[in-house]
Amino acid sequence: MTETDFIAGLPKAELHLHIEGSLEPELMFALAKRNDVAIPFASVEEVRAAYSFSRLQDFLDIYYAGADVLRTTQDFHDLAIAYFDRAAADGVVHAEIMFDPQTHTARGIPFGTVIEGLLSGMAEAEAKHGMTSKLIMSFLRHLDEDDAFATLEAAKPWLDRIDAVGLDSSELGHPPEKFARVFAEARALGLRLVAHAGEEGPPEYVYQALDLLGIDRLDHGNRSLEDPVLTARLARTSMTLTVCPLSNLKLCVVDDMADHPIDRMLREGLRATLNSDDPAYFGGYIADNYRAAAAARGLDRDDLALLARNSFLGSFLPDDAVAAHLAKLDAYVEQAA
């Protein structure tokens, strides 16, 4: 079995995926036409050519613009099932996907339109691929606390179908502490908590995410490695890091894939996982991320299996479901040997 096939067949969970970031240019054009929305690109090739970023904000500007074609429940359904089809082909058996309600409600799209479309895509993925999934509602950190509270309020009719809240968008200048009270309320409502921290922001933002938000899982977290005390704490507490190598390369969090710290993270005892973040914008889905990291950093099959194992351990699945996934993973690795 080739490494490409080993990776594609390796059962894994995806824990860091922005569903709006899975909008491929082809679907963007199809939805623009269906909804009669103007987009500032003449062709799919022109869209792809625009995907050259030197920092997070460059990407975010184009990502929010692209999301404007999403208007109806059907659009959100089509977006979601297109992602799940790709993920299934990459060996994903469970996905915990983020969505950014404020990107849509700010344009006058009702919260219900967004979530009902995503939920119907999730149901179709389970029927079609046997893939389970969970929803993470992310707050946009460049907006204020009141806007986040209003979003949490708008989510109340669907809280039993939302597993967690997250924090994304422009990190620098928008530290986690800005959302401490919103996260406390989300926790009181029974939601799990995740946050992007340490992607561009300093280790201090990771401390805030841990100590002021009380996160259950850390999105990215790369810059934690600058602080040995923080790194040791993350390892000791088995904090899951959702690492996204192709995103890191495209957003210049690393200068070269050869410099990616994924193997160092494993060596330091961190519960690191591999994920795709915004695959339509960063040049690959989850298996591409496993392949790119493996090729650049010389990861062997044991390392890859550990990363997949970590993805189940770091998921919000109940213990019995995690154990069942780990048993299948072990059986796969054994038969592939």
Q: Determine if 96 is a binding residue for ligand HPA (CB under 6 A).
A: no
d(CA 321, CA 300): 26
Strand partners, 241: 218, 272
Q: Which two tokens stand for residue 129?
A: 């691929």
Amino acid at 285: Y
- Provide the minimum distance between the beta carbon of 319 and ligand HPA in the complex, in angstroms, as a whole number: 30
CB atoms within 10 A of CB 295: 12
Shortest-Cβ-distance residue relative to ligand HPA: 168
Enumerate residues 6+ apart whose C-beta is below 8 A from 190.
159
Q: Binding partner of residue 14 among Zn ion, ligand HPA, none, CB under 5 to 8 Å per kind?
A: none
* CB-side neighbour CA atoms (13 Å) of 137: 29
Q: What distance in Å separates the CA atoms of residue 236 and residue 112, rounded to the nearest whole number?
A: 40
169 touches which of Zn ion, ligand HPA, none (CB within 5 to 8 A by kind)?
A: ligand HPA
> CA-CA distance, 78 to 168, in Å (whole number)?
23
Which residue positions form the known binding site for Zn(2+)?
A: 16, 18, 196, 277
Token pair 């339509």 is found at 280
Catalytic residue, chosen from 46, 199, 268, 334, is: 199
Q: Which lies closer to ligand HPA via its Cβ, residue 247 or residue 273? A: 247
User: Does 178 contact ligand HPA by CB under 6 A?
Assistant: no
Determine contact, residues 192/15, Cβ cutoff 8 Å. Answer: no
Residues 41-70 that bind ligand HPA (CB under 6 A): 56
- Asked if 199 is an active-site residue, the reply is yes
Alpha carbon 309 to chain centroid distance?
Answer: 17
The listed partner (Zn ion, ligand HPA, none) that binds 90, CB under 5 to 8 Å by sort, is: none
Reported as type and span, the H/E element at residue 218 is strand 217-220
Rounded to whole angstroms, the maximal C-alpha distance in the chain is 54
Site for Zn ion in 12-71 (CB under 5 A): none
Determine which residue in the list 10, 11, 17, 21 makes contact with ligand HPA, applying CB under 6 A.
21
Answer yes or no whether residue 273 interacts with ligand HPA by CB under 6 A: no
Q: For Zn ion, which is the closer residue by CB, 186 or 246?
A: 246
**Which 3 state secondary structure label does DSSP give 265?**
helix
C-alpha to C-alpha distance for 194 and 220, rounded to whole angstroms: 11
* Site for Zn ion, residues 274 to 293, rule: CB under 5 A: 277
- The one of Zn ion, ligand HPA, none whose footprint includes residue 288, by CB under 5 to 8 A per kind, is none
| Residue 275 binding ligand HPA, by CB under 6 A | no
Nearer to ligand HPA, 93 or 140 (CB): 140
Binding mask 186-215 for ligand HPA (x = CB under 6 A): ----------x--x----------------
To the nearest 5 percent, what fractions of the chain are helix, strand and coil?
60, 15, 25
Tallying the residues shown for the chain, one arrives at 337
Taking CB under 5 A as the binding criterion, the range among 135-143, 222-230, 273-281, 314-322 that sits at the site for Zn ion is 273-281
Please give the positions annotated as active site.
199
List contacts with Zn ion (CB under 5 A). Answer: 277
List contacts with ligand HPA (CB under 6 A). Answer: 18, 21, 56, 168-169, 196, 199, 247, 277-278
